């Protein structure tokens, strides 16, 4: 890790620092509250609200890795901000370093210094709550990815998370629902050879073929782009 960090700093000295711009748009017919969680790099805006058709931009200095997701069914009763789906438990619009309580559709990024490649994906490993698309803007060799299907509409009952009125607001993964090695790819199922796709991961993959459906779904789910691109992230594309 120390050698990798030294190499990244060397590249920054040669090529300079750049920032990617994330434009996050709400195409849903209701308000959402997008959120971010930083894994490596400078912390960025951790949460905000978007009305239907509204958008917001965030500058992300590279190198950076982290995730973006969106909450919905939110309220601020008694000064305690809470969302029925994708909540982070902070009690505020900003998640302040807390991650999504699954199930939540995650958009994951690793942004590199100039001269390297960014990596990005849509992950349903912990389940689904909202459709999303990622469209690179600029850069070279940059495919888009998405999970544009509303999986909640077809979620099996044993995976469904419902709100007080009985509507499905999230769809758990097999791992989240049952927490067994064959679904979570751990224990004696901790290798690709011993953890093949299951009926539940195939259910997600059939509806969203570009998204991660379980832990060892890299080949069809991870995408790269020359560093320096910006990204349009649209919920309910």
Q: Report the distance separating Cα 95 and Cα 19, nearest Å.
A: 22
For 68-127, how does the pLDDT look when each residue is reduced to its tens digit (9 = 90+)?
A: 999 999 999 888 999 999 999 999 999 999 999 999 999 999 999 877 999 999 999 999
Tell me the pLDDT of the chain averaged across its residues: 92
For residues 90 and 49, is the Cβ–Cβ distance under 8 A?
no
Of 153, 170, 173, 157, give the one whose Cα is nearest residue 214.
173
Residue with tokens 């709100």: 163
Given pLDDT bands bounded at 50, 70 and 90, which one contains residue 17? low
Tokens describing residue 152 = 């909640």
- Name which residue leads in pLDDT, 13 or 26: 26
Model confidence at 174: pLDDT above 50: yes
Question: Could you identify the residue written with the tokens 């995408």?
Answer: 223
CA distance 6 to 30: 45
Task: Give the per-residue pLDDT at 78.
Answer: 84
| pLDDT-derived band at 141, boundaries 50, 70, 90 | confident
Q: Map tokens 């080949």 to a residue.
A: 219
């Amino acid at each position: 890790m120390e050698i990798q960090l030294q190499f990244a700093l060397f590249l920054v000295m040669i090529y300079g620092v750049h920032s990617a711009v994330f434009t996050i748009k709400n195409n849903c017919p209701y308000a959402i509250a997008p959120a971010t969680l930083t894994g490596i790099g400078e912390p960025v805006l951790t949460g905000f609200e978007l009305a239907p058709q509204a958008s917001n931009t965030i500058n992300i200095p590279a190198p950076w890795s982290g995730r973006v997701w969106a909450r919905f069914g939110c309220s601020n009763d008694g000064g305690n901000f809470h969302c029925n789906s994708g909540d982070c438990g902070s009690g505020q619009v900003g998640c302040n370093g807390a991650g999504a309580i699954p199930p939540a559709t995650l958009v994951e990024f690793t942004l590199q210094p100039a001269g390297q490649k960014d990596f990005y994906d849509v992950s349903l490993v912990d389940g689904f709550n909202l459709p999303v698309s990622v469209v690179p803007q600029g850069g070279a060799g940059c495919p888009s990815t998405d999970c544009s299907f509303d999986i909640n509409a077809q979620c099996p009952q044993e995976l469904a998370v419902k709100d007080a009125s009985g509507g499905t607001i999230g769809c758990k993964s097999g791992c989240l629902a049952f927490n067994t090695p064959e679904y979570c790819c751990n224990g004696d199922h901790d290798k690709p050879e011993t953890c093949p796709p299951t009926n539940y991961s195939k259910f997600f993959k059939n509806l969203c073929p570009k998204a991660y459906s379980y832990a060892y779904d890299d080949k069809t789910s991870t995408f790269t782009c020359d560093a320096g691109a910006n990204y349009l992230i649209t919920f309910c594309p």
